[in-house]
């Protein structure tokens, strides 16, 4: 499924469209693209995105905010040469609250974003997820692994939306020749995550700074692989510059248990919080760790921000937000 064995080409964009651009990852992509000289149209319906994530971009030359639901056909005012489809509820709290919208964003939304890229002759990148592997029986997970997903479990609305989006993106490339690529993102964290979005890092930081017990699910031995937002953005843009169809894993191969993560955040924040064990959610994956051989070899990409540094920077951001 790889289109080229060459090194990552030098490629720049005059106008990029980022769906879900007011979300956590999407807003950082908007900033990075503007910093690289591209005009950016941020498309968001604000079901989970936040205006404050892009407020500091409003006055930057070339930035446009388009309030739109990607499950309906949409277009942009000027020709685009890059479409990054990042619209979707991504945290369990959000996709369990918005199950039908999550499925529609992965299906209708992906189709509409692909149609935009096709009309404009743009490179298209789909943000997929490590959740495509479900509760994996292969460890670490490589792109060749087909996954172990419960299609009717509570998490299926997100897992299957992304898996369908991958199938649709692949079919679009095959049938219409659209220049597409797929990235599977692993456990990205950093500033701009909502404290109550339900994922481990923002939940633990919020609790630690408030002096509350950190709620670790199950026995805490389940693992995740944490990638700081700056590393993830570099990986996504490296994929955009390439000619790969993918999917390509973008994540950090360093695993950490949830219990160790909780203790690390307590230590880094200087909190006196304790750990409290709570019930583990249904279909919660036992392990999560990417094989990033493909990204290293084809994109010359690998994460560089150590966990202690990334978590400390994230904790500082939450402190600043609380003070403000």
CB-CB neighbours of 31 under 10 Å: 20
DSSP class per residue in 77-136: SS--SEEEE--S--SHHHHHHSHHHHHHIIIIIHHHHHHHHHHHT-EEEEEEEGGGGBS-
**Whole-angstrom distance, CA of residue 145 vs CA of residue 139:** 10
Paired with 185 in beta bridges are: 129, 250
Please identify which of the residues 95, 133, 145, 158 carries the catalytic annotation: 158
- Largest CA-CA distance found in the chain, in angstroms, rounded: 58
Q: Is the dihedral of CA 234, 237, 238, 239 positive or negative?
A: positive
**Whole-angstrom distance, CA of residue 84 vs CA of residue 237:** 9
Q: Is 158 a catalytic residue?
A: yes
What phi and psi, each to the nearest 5 degrees, are found at residue 168?
A: -65, -45
**Whole-angstrom distance, CA of residue 90 vs CA of residue 47:** 11
Q: What DSSP character marks residue 55? A: G
Q: Per the structure block, which two tokens stand in for 253? A: 């191969």
Sequence-separated (6 or more) residues with CB below 8 Å from residue 144: none
Q: Which residues of 124-145 are buried (b: 16+ CB within 10 A; e: fewer)?
A: bbbbbbbbbbbbbeeebbebeb
Angle between helices 307-323 and 258-269 (to 10 degrees): 60
**Whole-angstrom distance, CA of residue 181 vs CA of residue 1:** 10
Q: What DSSP character marks residue 280? A: P
| Residues that are catalytic | 158
């Amino acid at each position: 499924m790889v289109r080229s064995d060459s090194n990552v080409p030098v490629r720049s964009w005059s106008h990029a469209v980022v769906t879900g651009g007011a979300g956590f990852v999407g807003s950082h992509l908007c900033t990075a693209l503007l910093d690289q000289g591209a005009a950016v149209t941020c498309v968001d319906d604000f079901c989970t995105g936040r205006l404050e994530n892009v407020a500091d971009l409003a006055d930057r030359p070339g930035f446009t905010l388009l309030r739109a639901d990607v499950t309906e056909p949409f277009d942009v005012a000027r020709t685009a040469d890059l479409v990054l489809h990042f619209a979707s509820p991504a945290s369990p709290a959000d996709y369990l609250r918005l199950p039908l919208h999550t499925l529609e964003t992965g299906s209708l939304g992906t189709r509409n974003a692909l149609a935009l890229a096709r009309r404009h002759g743009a490179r298209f990148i789909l943000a997929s997820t490590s959740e495509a592997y479900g509760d994996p029986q292969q460890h670490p997970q490589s792109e060749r692994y087909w996954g172990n997903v419960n299609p009717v479990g509570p998490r299926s609305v997100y897992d299957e939306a992304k898996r369908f989006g991958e199938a649709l993106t692949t079919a679009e490339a095959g049938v219409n020749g659209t220049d597409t690529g797929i990235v599977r993102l692993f456990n990205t964290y950093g500033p701009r995550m909502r404290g109550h979005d339900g994922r481990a890092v923002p939940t633990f930081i919020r609790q630690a700074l408030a002096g509350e017990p950190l709620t670790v699910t199950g026995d805490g031995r389940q693992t995740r692989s944490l990638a700081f937002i700056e590393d993830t953005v570099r990986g996504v843009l490296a994929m955009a510059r390439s000619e790969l169809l993918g999917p390509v894993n973008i994540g950090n191969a360093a695993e950490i248990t949830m219990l160790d993560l909780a203790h690390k955040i307590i230590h880094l924040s200087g909190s006196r919080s304790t750990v409290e064990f709570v019930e583990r959610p249904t279909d919660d994956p036992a392990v999560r760790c990417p094989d990033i051989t493909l990204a290293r070899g084809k994109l010359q990409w690998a994460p560089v921000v150590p966990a202690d540094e990334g978590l400390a920077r994230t904790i500082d951001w939450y402190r600043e937000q609380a003070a403000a």
